Amino acid sequence: MTEILSPITGSVWKIIAQVGTQVNEGDTVVILESMKMEIKVKSPHDGKVAEIKVKEGDSILEDDIIAIVE
């Protein structure tokens, strides 16, 4: 099980992967927005999305847990 952490402080713009979705290493899980820039947060390895810890529109801090991939 791997926690995907936010690389920046910003807001959740769009959730791409849903719980139960199979993802491959490098697939975008969530897109964050900070200072009008979009930052794609990608899966670090192949696996299944076990949990999404954020909702679209949430404000998050750097190193907050975004999702869990197992």
17 contacts: CB under 8 Å, gap ≥ 6: 23, 27, 28, 29, 30, 43, 49, 52, 67
- pLDDT category of residue 37 using cuts at 50, 70 and 90: very high
Topology of domain 2-69, per CATH? OB fold (Dihydrolipoamide Acetyltransferase, E2P) (2.40.50)
Q: What is the pTM for the complete model shown?
A: 0.92
CB 60 within 8 A of CB 11: yes
The total number of residues written for the chain in this structure: 70
Task: Write the single-letter amino acid at 63.
Answer: D
Q: What pLDDT score was predicted for residue 38?
A: 96
- pLDDT category of residue 11 using cuts at 50, 70 and 90: very high
Residue ranges of domains in the chain: 2-69
Mean pLDDT confidence for 54-68: 97
